[in-house]
Amino acid sequence: MNAIKVSLTLFLVSTGGFTQAQDAKSTLDEAFDAVEPRVIEWRRDFHEHPELSNREFRTSEKVAAHLRSLKLDDVQTGIAHTGVVGTLVGGRPGPVIALRADMDGLPVLEQTGVPFASKARGEYNGNEVPVMHACGHDTHISMLMGAAEVLANNREQLAGTVMFIFQPAEEGPPAGEEGGAMLMLKEGLFDGPNPPEAILGLHIWPGDVGTLTYRPNGFMAAADGLQINVRGVQTHGSSPWLGVDPIYVAAQIATAIQGIPSRQLDITRSPAVITIGSIHGGVRGNIIPDEVEMQGTIRTFDTGVREELHTKLRRTVNSVAEANGATATVTIEGYAPVTVNHPDLLKKMLPTLGWAAGSDKLIEGARVMGAEDFSFFQERVPGLFLHLGAYDPSIPASDRPANHSPFFIADERALIVGVRTLVGFAMDYAAVSAD
């Protein structure tokens, strides 16, 4: 931690532009104090009324109404189905930057017991399901709304233009639909005459409350969706030799593919994970079915490793199936590339992060096998993606529910740190990019 403090001090001394921006930010304390209760109120409302991917209708209406109330220069809705983008032109000339928050919930039954717990229901791939903000997107929306309010009320101090991107479907669109960051870009989000030069995203995380975790270069993994269909020959459960049991074959496949990252890839190059999270087949205990469907995910950090894993996976699955007289089909669909933090941008913005959270709250973290479609934005422009800690430090790390858990709930003390981080990035980028 001392090394971080030294680097912040050296950077402050050598960058006059940053110091000027720092002076401008010092006047915003009252603005942060004023907006914090509203951010908490918004968060609780969104948490109580979550919506699934590409169905964030109420959420987007509330966001758009707030942005319009701030008299932004432009507010667009209906982007990538339910996305909202607001544009604020500052009082001083400068570059265009973007700040992003995702809006969708998950098909999870909430068990947190908080007064504002979700009781919402929705439809996911044809099934009625409970809905919960189990990944903290309710906090992301609220923090970006708060940052928009602070910046809009202090636009004369802002050098440049800020795009506030409220993105739907980060968790992935429903089957048969497009969505998320990829669709926003496909529809031309960054194709105008003045695209952003840089972008920042935050994700709430079960770290100590108020900490900001970063990592230069590859931070979060690339993710591919995996589906394996195993075809056998249906027969009576009492006579398996009269058919081909796809359940037995699927069990062998699930075991065999675990040997790919552990025994067939050079783990000194880059980590990789294959997980099977769903297996479906059959309707009765005494009937061997014709087919089993397996669904899973693949996580990698290196393009070459990713391609090698795909090749070995297909070979292993087909070989196991053939050895048992079955056939198999492997379908791999990319969800998101590696989330890559631009190292030069990160170095320049470290003083801002220290101002937002406190230099003692900055943590250079390890790689995370989770994935983020924020990475599509980072493929177009330099970007930073940070994890914002949201658990009381007195709670042992082993007892903190992870994202996507029905017990995941963020400590609201973290929210104002997120607002400060977003505002600080917008206020300082013009100065540090010029140095």
Q: Which of 203, 163, 204 is nearest to 185 (CA)?
A: 163
Concatenated DSSP letters for 15-36? -HHHHHHHHHHGGGHHHHHHHH
What is d(CA 256, CA 320) in angstroms, rounded to the nearest whole number? 8
Dihedral over alpha carbons 106, 356, 184, 70 (to 10 degrees)? 100
What is d(CA 336, CA 359) in angstroms, rounded to the nearest whole number? 31
- The token pair at 17 is 């532009």
Between helix 16-25 and helix 343-357 the angle, nearest 10°, is 30
Q: How many CA atoms lie within 13 A of 231 on its CB side?
A: 5
Q: Is 309 helix (H, G, I), strand (E, B) or coil?
A: helix
104 is catalytic: yes
Active-site residue, from 102, 104, 110, 245: 104
For the sheet with 272-280, list strands across it.
272-280, 291-300, 222-231, 327-336
364 is catalytic: no
| Residues whose CB is less than 8 angstroms from the CB of residue 396 and which lie 6 or more positions away in sequence, other chains included | none
Active-site residue, from 56, 110, 138, 170: 170
Residue 363: its H or E element: strand 362-364
Residue 379: its H or E element: helix 375-380
Count the Cβ atoms, other than its own, within 10 Å of residue 255. 11
Between helix 2-14 and helix 343-357 the angle, nearest 10°, is 100
What's the distance, Cα to Cα, between the start and end of the chain in Å? 25
The residues annotated as belonging to the active site are: 104, 170
